[in-house]
């Protein structure tokens, strides 16, 4: 295997919120690690960050224990309305073969997303279609689903996305009207590839207890995800707060001054200071350094850094409001 110019890396999350029941922990861990294995296989073979985060998120959307794709939470009137998006920052560069150094010449950002879809099996793949095949960034509902059909994506009836687990949670929500769940489970991934391109992807069923037609942060550029020349981020948590604080844009902007881990912690503090809400964040910089933080009860992540093994972590919350380095 040739030595990559930039060591590729990928990090994924399965949502921040309440600690998951003991009965689900082992399977969630297995699924998150398997998803990152799929994405990292693309990176190891020299594939793109966009393909790697897409494959990772597809695996999580297909797993019923996560709140995205199959397993999405339901609206108050019992429907599935999913949001997802993908964003990439791609480098144009020239290689000075004499010294094997790549000179960055420009960055091109591209993005695609969908909201309020319920008939497509993998909203992240439809986001990719919006990004690659339309002049638009964000599409909604039936028109987006028509695009999915035309693109040959796997379609389904909305009820085929509903698990017993999601239906039981919906019934519990109906017993406590007005209460928005702290059980989040949004999924996301960020990656850097061997060429130094970065990508972010986020996918969700939203928050349980949501009204029909509510759109969260996950498909909104700058809120639920962001990618720029210096790094990428994906968020989870209370969408209304993440939108108001443009969480992922904030985190990537902080990268330049303080590095990935401190940027993640500071961004969560910024969100908490202005909203008092719970959220989580994963990020990566263009040199493959990770950052992650949340202020919920727990957040689960899995990481791959070339050439190492995949690590799985259940993160404790940061102390919001504490003095920051």
Q: For ligand GLY, which is the closer residue by CB, 218 or 295?
A: 218
**CB of 205 vs ligand GLY, minimal distance in Å:** 8
Kindly state whether residue 17 participates in binding ligand GLY, applying the rule CB under 6 A: no
Q: Which residues contact 58 (CB under 8 A, 6 or more apart)?
A: 69, 122, 124, 125
Handedness of CA 207, 136, 117, 76 (dihedral sign): positive
Q: Which of 33, 54, 98, 52 is nearest to 195 (CA)?
A: 52
Candidate residues 48, 72, 181, 204; the one interacting with ligand GLY per rule CB under 6 A: 204
**CB of 261 vs ligand GLY, minimal distance in Å:** 22
Q: For ligand GLY, which is the closer residue by CB, 75 or 218?
A: 218
Q: For ligand GLY, which is the closer residue by CB, 238 or 269?
A: 238
Kindly state whether residue 47 participates in binding ligand GLY, applying the rule CB under 6 A: no
Note if 186 is an active site residue: yes
Kindly state whether residue 117 participates in binding ligand GLY, applying the rule CB under 6 A: no
Candidate residues 17, 71, 118, 206; the one interacting with ligand GLY per rule CB under 6 A: 206
Q: Are 125 and 144 in contact (CB under 8 A)?
A: no
Kindly state whether residue 207 participates in binding ligand GLY, applying the rule CB under 6 A: yes
The Cα 35–Cα 189 span in angstroms is 10
Kindly state whether residue 280 participates in binding ligand GLY, applying the rule CB under 6 A: no
Candidate residues 112, 209, 216, 280; the one interacting with ligand GLY per rule CB under 6 A: 216
Candidate residues 38, 112, 239, 280; the one interacting with ligand GLY per rule CB under 6 A: 239
The Cα 57–Cα 60 span in angstroms is 5
Candidate residues 48, 186, 245, 295; the one interacting with ligand GLY per rule CB under 6 A: 186
Kindly state whether residue 217 participates in binding ligand GLY, applying the rule CB under 6 A: yes
Q: For ligand GLY, which is the closer residue by CB, 156 or 215?
A: 215
**CB of 279 vs ligand GLY, minimal distance in Å:** 8
**CB of 123 vs ligand GLY, minimal distance in Å:** 12
Kindly state whether residue 181 participates in binding ligand GLY, applying the rule CB under 6 A: no
Residues within the interface to ligand GLY (CB under 6 A): 186, 204, 206-207, 216-218, 236-239
Q: Which residues are catalytic?
A: 186
């Amino acid at each position: 295997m040739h030595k990559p110019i930039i060591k590729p890396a990928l990090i994924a999350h399965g949502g921040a919120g309440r600690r998951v029941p003991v009965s689900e922990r082992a399977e969630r861990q297995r699924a998150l690690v398997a998803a990152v294995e799929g994405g990292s296989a693309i990176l190891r073979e020299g594939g793109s960050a966009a393909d790697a985060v897409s494959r990772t998120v597809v695996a999580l959307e297909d797993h019923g224990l996560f709140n995205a794709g199959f397993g999405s939470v339901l609206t108050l009137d019992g429907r599935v309305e999913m949001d997802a998006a993908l964003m990439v920052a791609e480098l144009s560069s020239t290689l000075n073969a004499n010294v094997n150094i790549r000179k960055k010449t420009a960055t091109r950002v591209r993005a695609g997303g969908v909201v309020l879809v319920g008939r497509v099996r993998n909203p992240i793949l439809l986001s990719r279609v919006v990004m690659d095949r339309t002049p638009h960034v964000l599409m909604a509902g039936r028109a987006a689903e028509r695009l999915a059909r035309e693109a040959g994506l796997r379609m389904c009836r909305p009820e085929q996305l509903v698990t017993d687990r999601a239906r039981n949670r919906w019934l519990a929500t109906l017993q406590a009207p007005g209460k928005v769940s702290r059980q989040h489970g949004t999924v996301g991934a960020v990656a850097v590839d061997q060429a130094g391109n970065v990508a972010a992807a986020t996918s969700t069923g939203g928050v349980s207890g949501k009204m029909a037609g509510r759109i969260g942060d996950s498909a909104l550029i700058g809120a639920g995800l962001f990618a720029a020349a210096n790094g990428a981020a994906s968020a989870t948590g209370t969408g209304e707060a993440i939108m108001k604080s443009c969480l992922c844009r904030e985190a990537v902007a902080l990268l330049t001054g303080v590095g990935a881990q401190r940027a993640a912690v500071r961004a969560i503090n910024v969100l908490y200071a202005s909203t008092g809400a719970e959220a989580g964040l994963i990020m990566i910089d263009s040199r493959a350094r990770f950052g992650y933080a949340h202020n919920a009860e727990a957040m689960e992540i899995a990481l791959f850094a070339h050439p190492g093994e995949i690590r799985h972590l259940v993160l404790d919350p940061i102390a919001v409001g504490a003095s920051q380095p």
